[in-house]
Structure 1
Amino acid sequence: MGRVIAVANQKGGVAKTTSVASLGAAFVLRGLRVLLVDLDPQSSLTFSLGIDPDVVEYSISDVVRGEVDLTTARLRTSEGMDLIPSTIDLLAAEAMLLPAPQREFVVRRGLEEVLSTYDVILLDCSPSLGLLTLNALAAADEVIVPLQCEMLSHRGVGQLLDTVADVHRLLNPRLRVRGLLPTMYDKRSVHARAVLGDVKRRYRVPVLNPIPRSVKFAEAPSVGTTIIATSPSSSGARAYFRIADGLLRAWRFGGRKAAPPAAPRPTRMAPSVRPPAPGEADAM
């Protein structure tokens, strides 16, 4: 039975798509069967994996409208992951769902037919807390929340965790938070280290090892692949391999358990956050 992971944050530009694609490629190289689902009308995941959204025959919008099933819409990528692509039509499909009964469960029902086919299914959510993101959370076993280590970047994380807690309570009692994933992290920056320390204190969920900032992340989509393919020995690729391996250990051997959804600690973010103690920023 495939494990379904939603990668979500209502803020854009936090490396959700990069994380989905890179983790998917890392899992494939670890021998897993992987499906990626692009739930963003901007189609960034589809495009970054070398597929033109304007020429695909079927997409997730057709699945949402009930016109085709997932197996009809899926495509094989060059790195071995299967992909359910997205197009701009997903905006209209989402609007069509608004008055529908059981509208939060459309993605879950679509995934049911392929759960036994894959080991891991990664859902790339749109940068909003709209109906598509609710569908992803209602379908997922776990959620990973990418965030930048910048003061303004993680202010919305608490709102997302509140939403996850509501979904857990009302729609999907099996949903757990696997962890916050700091991305574009520069350990030389005092500010980035301070924000990472504040994130670890503030939220009642695990914080995964940071993904370093690297220009190689921007280069990979230009050739339709991930950093795992273009620069497998880079610090960025190694960081995603570490995350993937940590998830595999947790799933297979018990490891660190995912946290039940919970609200952030009721602390106020100070205008100036203290820098973490030496070594604190690099701790798991």
Structure 2
Amino acid sequence: MAQIIAIANQKGGVGKTTTAVNLAASLAVLKKRVLLVDMDSQGNATMGSGIQKNDLLYSITDVLLGEVSIENAITKAEVGYKVLGANRDLSGVELAIAEQEGREFILRNALQEVEKNFDYIIVDCAPSLSLITVNALAAVEGVIIPMQCEYYALEGLADLTQTIDRIQQALNPELQIIGVVRTMYDARNALTRDVSAELEQYFGKKLYDTVVPRNVRLAEAPAHGLPIIYFEKSSKGAIAYLNLAAELLKKSKVKKGNKA
């Protein structure tokens, strides 16, 4: 059965979608069966995977509305993993399902139909707390938080941890923060180092050793519809996300061993 992970942060511009796309691609390169679920109406994770969001025959919107099965809505990307894509149609779904019984669990129920086909399901969340994001957090077992090491990022982190606690208590007892990854990292910056030290103190072993540096090639890759490993595999960004994927696999193996 798949390990289902949300990439989430209520603050935008922290490398959330970049992390979702490149973690999915790196896991696929490491021979894992991966599904990337785009839960953001901007559709950036879809586009970053080389899929035209406006050309989708079916999208996550159709799945949430119950108009098509999840298997029929999944698209195979040319970059080694599969995608349940999104586009602007997703922005109207919240009103459509607002009065529906069990509305918070639509994604969870859908993923149960396909999770046996994957090793990892990565869910890219929108940077806002909406019913769509609640659906995502109710469906996963863990959250990876991309964090830019700056002052305002720490403020947003408090809001996100409170949100995760509330959803854990009300909807998903298994939900937990499984990791925090430092993104857009510049070790020359004193504030970056200070915030990084605070994260180490607060999160301990949940803070990934891997840091994702500021990297021009990493920023350019989405414009080409490619994860960084396919755009410039020797870049610092590509190496960082491969290391992050390897670190995730190692922690997953330890977790499975503890369960046994």
TM-score range, shorter chain: over 0.9
The match for 1:211 is 212
The match for 1:7 is 7
CA–CA separation in structure 2 for the residues paired with 1:192 and 1:62:
42
The match for 2:49 is 49
Give unpaired runs (5+ residues) of structure 1: 258-284
Equivalent AA in structure 2 for residue 97 of structure 1? I
The match for 1:236 is 237
Deviation at 1:122, TM superposition (A): 0.2
State percent identity of aligned pairs.
39
Deviation at 1:199, TM superposition (A): 2.3
The match for 1:264 is none
Deviation at 1:255, TM superposition (A): 8.8
Q: Quick check: 1:78–1:225 contact (8 Å CA) kept in 2? A: no
Structure with max Cα Rg: 1
Q: Secondary structure at the match of 2:206?
A: coil
Deviation at 1:256, TM superposition (A): 11
CA–CA separation in structure 1 for the residues paired with 2:138 and 2:60:
16
Give CA deviations for 1:23-55 in whole Å, capped at 9, x if unaligned: 111111111100000000011111112222112
Q: Does 1:122 align with 2:91?
A: no
Deviation at 1:205, TM superposition (A): 7.0
Equivalent AA in structure 2 for residue 191 of structure 1? L
The match for 2:62 is 62
Q: Quick check: 1:250–1:256 contact (8 Å CA) kept in 2? A: no
Higher strand share: 2
Equivalent AA in structure 1 for residue 66 of structure 2? G
CA–CA separation in structure 2 for the residues paired with 1:128 and 1:38:
14
CA–CA separation in structure 2 for the residues paired with 1:231 and 1:165:
38
Deviation at 1:98, TM superposition (A): 1.6
The match for 1:274 is none
Q: Does 1:248 align with 2:253?
A: no
Q: 1:146 to 1:128 in 2, by over 3 A?
A: same
Deviation at 1:99, TM superposition (A): 1.6
CA–CA separation in structure 1 for the residues paired with 2:4 and 2:69:
18
Q: Does 1:165 align with 2:165?
A: yes
Deviation at 1:204, TM superposition (A): 6.8
The match for 2:31 is 31
The match for 1:136 is 136
Give CA deviations for 1:114-134 in whole Å, capped at 9, x if unaligned: 010000000000010111111
Deviation at 1:233, TM superposition (A): 1.9
The match for 1:197 is 197
The match for 1:148 is 148
Equivalent AA in structure 1 for residue 236 of structure 2? S
CA–CA separation in structure 1 for the residues paired with 2:254 and 2:245:
14
Higher helix share: 2
Q: Secondary structure at the match of 2:55?
A: coil
Q: Quick check: 1:47–1:221 contact (8 Å CA) kept in 2? A: yes
Q: 1:256 to 1:198 in 2, by over 3 A?
A: farther
Give unpaired runs (5+ residues) of structure 2: none
Equivalent AA in structure 1 for residue 40 of structure 2? D
Q: Secondary structure at the match of 2:152?
A: coil
CA–CA separation in structure 2 for the residues paired with 1:31 and 1:191:
37
Equivalent AA in structure 2 for residue 245 of structure 1? A
Q: Alignment length, in residue pairs?
A: 257
Q: Secondary structure at the match of 1:145?
A: strand
Give CA deviations for 1:201-243 in whole Å, capped at 9, x if unaligned: 3457721132111011121112211111112122111111111
Q: Quick check: 1:61–1:90 contact (8 Å CA) kept in 2? A: yes
CA–CA separation in structure 1 for the residues paired with 2:244 and 2:16:
14
CA–CA separation in structure 2 for the residues paired with 1:113 and 1:142:
19
CA–CA separation in structure 2 for the residues paired with 1:70 and 1:116:
13
CA–CA separation in structure 2 for the residues paired with 1:205 and 1:177:
11
CA–CA separation in structure 2 for the residues paired with 1:71 and 1:190:
48
